[in-house]
Structure 1
Amino acid sequence: MGSDADEPADAGRAPGWAEAITGFRRYLVAELNRSPETVRAYSADLAGLRGHASRAGCPDLADLDLTILRSWLATMRVAGAAPATLARRASLARVFSAFAARRGYLASDVAARLVGGRARRQVPQILSVEAARELLQVGPGLAGRTAAPVGRAAADPGGAPAGRTARRDREVAVRDALRLRDAAVLELLYGSGIRVSELCGLDLGDVDDDRRLLRVHGKGGRERSVPFGVPAAAALRGWRASSGRPMLATPSAGAALLVGQRGGRLDARAVRRILERCAAAGVVPAGLTPHGLRHSAATHMLEGGADLRSVQEFLGHASLATTQIYTHVTPERLRAAFEQAHPRA
């Protein structure tokens, strides 16, 4: 017996957009194990497709056809949508159309012959080994430069001189805690190559100090163990000491390993701001992202002699093909391999 996602719609009904999109959302979660972020993005894209079809005089789902889908993509292309965006939305249209045809929302798979643009494979910006070392040494010291402590850290103990002194002492302690936090963030991002979402999702119980392993919850709900090195272990010890996490955490943090300036679980925007501070100080190139640190880690592993399968496990990729997109062979490594292996080098 098939799942609910593959059962046809009731005979005689004319299901519309809202019902089909609701069913598709359930299918993405139950059958394809997509993340909440992916489901939200796909829902927004389908809402855009629905609006385009309505403006084209085809408000009913049953009116959807290949011409409407092609004009939807063409309109976005003219508006300047990136190739990656067009490729993603063409892929979504094909998946949704096939699902809707199976369920009986559409009479046929109208997107079966839809051809979307192929996203250009771009190598993310990466750091050299020397630049990564400088980031880990200097970056944490930039914490607290751009904003005064807020929330619990800014509570004014009083207006008297003694109260103002206590407040200043508290703010200094918070900045010190942020430096410890940023050291842990940067060491884990680069040292373990984890995604920023995985970093922010770590709990205290996900750290195995004895074996120096992180229990990471990746895409699609997949769980893996990722090693971290001695410098990251030292940064984690400093962060979890009394002058680190306990100085910032509020009850809203729960079991979160990393917390933000307001005391709750750290989010991806705060991590990006850490790198923006580093770029503003000239420590890293402008535009470096957490993903760039992940890619740097993978590239440096390959340059150090790691095989592609090991890097695949390290990054948590389900497919080796994905790892090949993330990684590239530097000219220096290619030259070294050529001189070592080729008889005419």
Structure 2
Amino acid sequence: MAVPGPAAPTEPYAELPDASREALERYLAYLGDVRRRADKTLRNYRTDIEDFLRFLATRGAALEEAGRSDGRAYLGWLRDRGTAEGSVKRRATTIRGFYGWLDREGVTLRAKPGDSMLRLRYPKSTRRLPQFLSTTEVERLVEGADAQTPAGLRDRALLELLYAAGLRVSEVAGLDVGHLDLVNRQVRVRGKGDKTRIGLFGEPAHDALREYIERGRPALLPAGRTADALFLNRSGGRLSARSIQTVVRRSGTQAGILRRVHPHLLRHTFATHMLEGDADLRIVQHLLGHSSADTTQIYTAVAQRRHEALVTSALQRARTIEAERRERGER
């Protein structure tokens, strides 16, 4: 008969022990200084790991003695609280990564034999396919921006670049004018892990960016001021990632697109349309800045499903036409 472990805690948690806090701060410093993780990513790591460490403290389990059974209890507790499956899976990965770092740092982990936290896993689930816009929806989205105002010229250039180059919102927010090469239709972006790559864009984005730089951006920049940022707000400062999200969402509403439009949806759309156009998977992987082709691979499933839907629809129309012809012939 299995002996039940300590009960899951009820909030509020116990205080975080000094040893656990010190280990967490050292790990975050490593992620920031060595792995070059973004500030937002570090905040997420802090929240996830600190929550787990407080869970351990409430159960009376020391950091070094906690094992996979403690990790599973924590994940089960999260599910019972209604935490989204994706968030539970992310926390499992984060906790395992934290303990992997402790192990590499020489911290003696004293879990029971066979109960190592390094073996913590989350059951694989069916991966949801990314959503994307049709080419018609993209056209409506971009053309909805008012090209007669500085802000409208900026918004059109912003939307064109997000779609044409498949950039992340943080990458676009960090762009300077000097990162743009209009002659060769290239943009240099700094992505995850502080990695730099070159993004490409076509003629529509080129034209929209040129119009914005020549007519829109100077009008947004106060007299006598200079700025490096490519996309400016109404005060002449850098347009933030949150403001870019607002621009995209508002543009989607104005275009009459029923689903919620956000920058990452345009990134999904870029990848899907590229693969539908028979682009090489490795090229799309590079343009997206994915470290693994496995991450990019999911878009091939999206393109394949869309292709199957189009074929099914075409066959259905053909059957309908054939049935109507037979019916007319019988008459």
Q: TM-score, normalised by structure 2?
A: 0.79
Could you say which residue in structure 2 is the equivalent of 1:75?
Answer: 77
Distance in 2 (CA, whole Å) between partners of 1:236 and 1:131 is 20
8 A Cα contact 1:253 1:265, kept in partner? no
Shift of 1:104: 3.7
Could you say which residue in structure 2 is the equivalent of 1:163?
Answer: none
1:258 to 216, 231, 241: 231
8 A Cα contact 1:16 1:105, kept in partner? no
CA distance 1:61–1:279, change in 2 (3 Å): same
Q: Deviations over 1:257-296 (max 9, x none)?
A: 0012333211122122123223333532331221111111
8 A Cα contact 2:150 2:217, kept in partner? yes
Q: Deviations over 1:175-231 (max 9, x none)?
A: 811101101110001111111111111101001121111011111111111111111
Q: Deviations over 1:145-190 (max 9, x none)?
A: xxxxxxxxxxxxxxxxxxxxxxxxxxxxxx8111011011100011
Structure 1 counterpart of 2:265, one-letter code: G
Q: Deviations over 1:303-323 (max 9, x none)?
A: 122121121122121111111
Distance in 1 (CA, whole Å) between partners of 2:125 and 2:231 is 34
Structure 1 counterpart of 2:97, one-letter code: V
8 A Cα contact 2:141 2:255, kept in partner? no
The answer to whether 1:248 aligns with 2:250 is no
> How many percent of aligned residue pairs carry the same amino acid?
37
Could you say which residue in structure 2 is the equivalent of 1:157?
Answer: none
The answer to whether 1:124 aligns with 2:130 is yes
Shift of 1:63: 4.3
The answer to whether 1:189 aligns with 2:165 is no
Could you say which residue in structure 1 is the equivalent of 2:175?
Answer: 202
Q: Deviations over 1:19-71 (max 9, x none)?
A: 2112211332344343332222111111111221222233x423433333222
Structure 1 counterpart of 2:119, one-letter code: R
Could you say which residue in structure 2 is the equivalent of 1:333?
Answer: 307
How many residue pairs match? The answer is 290
2:22 to 19, 24, 46: 19
Structure 1 counterpart of 2:37, one-letter code: R
Distance in 2 (CA, whole Å) between partners of 1:249 and 1:82 is 43
Could you say which residue in structure 2 is the equivalent of 1:112?
Answer: 118
Could you say which residue in structure 1 is the equivalent of 2:275?
Answer: 302
Could you say which residue in structure 1 is the equivalent of 2:54?
Answer: 51
1:292 to 265, 278, 287: 265
The answer to whether 1:220 aligns with 2:193 is yes
CA distance 1:301–1:53, change in 2 (3 Å): same
Unaligned runs of 5+ in 1: 1-13, 144-174, 339-345
Could you say which residue in structure 1 is the equivalent of 2:325?
Answer: none
Could you say which residue in structure 2 is the equivalent of 1:153?
Answer: none
8 A Cα contact 1:84 1:120, kept in partner? no
CA RMSD, 1 decimal: 2.6
SS in 1 for 2:219: helix
8 A Cα contact 2:154 2:216, kept in partner? yes
SS in 2 for 1:329: helix
Structure 2 counterpart of 1:244, one-letter code: G
Could you say which residue in structure 1 is the equivalent of 2:92?
Answer: 90
SS in 1 for 2:149: helix
Unaligned runs of 5+ in 2: 1-16, 313-331
Distance in 2 (CA, whole Å) between partners of 1:119 and 1:288 is 26
Structure 1 counterpart of 2:100, one-letter code: A
